[in-house]
């Protein structure tokens, strides 16, 4: 009998069925830290470059950026139609840039924002209201962004064994109020590295493409990265992510071409209560 039980446990842990969803009557705290370090170079008309040199600027310029976000999601009891009402609160959204020894804090309109809505049985979130977003974002903007992200989250409908992979493509087209729009495509290849102790370890390899068209500038970015994430089988949630991404941004601003080469480290944890 003991041999049979052990055999069944081993079989159960030899593969994993990945799902994405939020369970009712839970509180999820998602903490994301992004740190970027790199160099910025500028080229343009000789007269403009001479003026920059005369002001004491030398190129390339070292720069760093940091972004810290903390989001709390509280889910209520499941309703008769299967929906799970939820409140999403951006408890902390801070960003800063350091360039030429000068620190600059960037304000974010999402800080302190509370978004109300519900999750359906497939784990997709629908925005019901998002007061206090100001002029830069609207509830419709937030819903459009979530729709594009969630529609692309398609885990395989079959269990995966160690060594098996799947590809997830995330296309986005985000309006930036009256300033313009941002299009992005993220392709991630997930590979099951290990299954055990109620979690699955997934390796990640990513490719990122971005293009932004705004009144004051146009930008193109490409990048590649890799890392790992931890999937909690019981909670049906990725509870830890650790990624490293190298990318290059080319931007045309008022007759100058700016090139940024950045190394990015992203860490995210999800605590469930």
User: Tens digit of pLDDT for each residue in 205-214?
Assistant: 999 998 887 6
Q: Is residue 141 scored above 50 in pLDDT? A: yes
* % of residues, the chain, pLDDT over 90: 47
φ, ψ of residue 78 to 5 degrees: the values are -65, 135
Q: What's the confidence (pLDDT) of residue 177?
A: 53
Q: Is residue 7 scored above 90 in pLDDT? A: no
Question: Does 51 or 175 have the greater pLDDT score?
Answer: 51
Choice among 101-110, 133-142, 163-172, 257-266 with the minimum mean pLDDT: 133-142
Contact criterion met (CB below 8 Å) for 185 and 208:
yes
Q: Is residue 253 scored above 90 in pLDDT? A: no
Write down the mean pLDDT value for the chain. 84
Spatial distance between the Cα atoms of 174 and 146, rounded to a whole number of angstroms: 10
* Tokens 């999750």 -> residue: 119
Q: Is residue 71 scored above 80 in pLDDT? A: yes
Structure tokens at 113: 């924002």
Q: What's the confidence (pLDDT) of residue 6?
A: 35
List the one residue out of 235, 243, 233 whose CA is nearest residue 268: 243
Spatial distance between the Cα atoms of 4 and 12, rounded to a whole number of angstroms: 12
| Structure confidence by residue, pLDDT tens digits, 18-32 | 987 789 999 999 999
56: left (phi over 0), alpha (psi -120 to 50) or beta: left
Q: What's the confidence (pLDDT) of residue 10?
A: 38
Q: What's the confidence (pLDDT) of residue 174?
A: 64
* % of residues, the chain, pLDDT over 70: 83
State the DSSP code for 79. P
Q: Is residue 73 scored above 50 in pLDDT? A: yes
| 126: number of Cβ within 10 Å | 14
Q: Is residue 180 scored above 80 in pLDDT? A: no
The confidence band for 270, taking pLDDT boundaries of 50, 70 and 90, is very high
Q: What's the confidence (pLDDT) of residue 167?
A: 93
* Tokens 């949630």 -> residue: 237
Domains of the chain, earliest start first? 16-272 (2.30.230)
Whole-model pTM: value is 0.80
3-state secondary structure of 86: strand
Q: What's the confidence (pLDDT) of residue 87?
A: 93
Which of the given ranges, 4-8, 66-70, 172-176, has the highest pLDDT on average? 66-70
List the one residue out of 195, 202, 208, 210 whose CA is nearest residue 238: 202
Spatial distance between the Cα atoms of 146 and 140, rounded to a whole number of angstroms: 10
Q: What's the confidence (pLDDT) of residue 138?
A: 62
The confidence band for 130, taking pLDDT boundaries of 50, 70 and 90, is confident
Q: What's the confidence (pLDDT) of residue 137?
A: 60
What is the end-to-end Cα distance of the chain in Å, rounded? 36
Average pLDDT over residues 66-95: 93
């Amino acid at each position: 009998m003991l041999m049979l039980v052990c055999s069944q446990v081993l079989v159960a842990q030899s593969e994993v069925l990945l799902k994405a969803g939020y369970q009712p009557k839970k509180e999820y705290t998602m903490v994301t830290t992004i740190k970027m370090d790199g160099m910025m170079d500028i080229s343009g008309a000789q007269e403009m470059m001479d003026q920059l040199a005369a002001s004491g600027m030398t190129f390339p310029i070292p720069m760093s950026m940091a972004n810290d976000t903390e989001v709390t999601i509280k889910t209520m009891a499941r309703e008769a139609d299967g929906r799970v009402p939820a409140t999403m609160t951006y408890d902390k959204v801070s960003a800063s840039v350091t360039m030429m020894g000068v620190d600059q804090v960037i304000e974010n309109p999402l800080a302190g924002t509370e978004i109300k809505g519900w999750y359906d049985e497939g784990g997709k979130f629908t925005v019901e209201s998002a007061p206090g977003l100001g002029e830069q974002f609207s509830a419709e903007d937030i819903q459009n962004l979530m729709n594009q992200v969630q529609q692309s989250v398609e885990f395989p409908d079959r269990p995966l064994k160690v060594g098996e992979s799947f590809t997830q493509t995330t296309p986005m087209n985000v309006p930036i109020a009256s300033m313009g729009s941002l299009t992005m495509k993220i392709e991630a290849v997930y590979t099951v590295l290990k299954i055990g102790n109620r979690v699955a370890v997934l390796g990640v390899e990513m490719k990122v493409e971005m293009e932004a068209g705004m009144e004051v500038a146009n930008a193109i970015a490409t990048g590649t990265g890799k890392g790992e994430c931890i999937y909690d089988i019981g909670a049906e949630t990725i509870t830890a992510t650790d990624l490293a991404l190298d990318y290059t941004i080319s931007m045309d601003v008022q007759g100058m071409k700016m090139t940024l080469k950045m190394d990015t480290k992203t860490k995210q944890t999800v605590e469930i209560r």
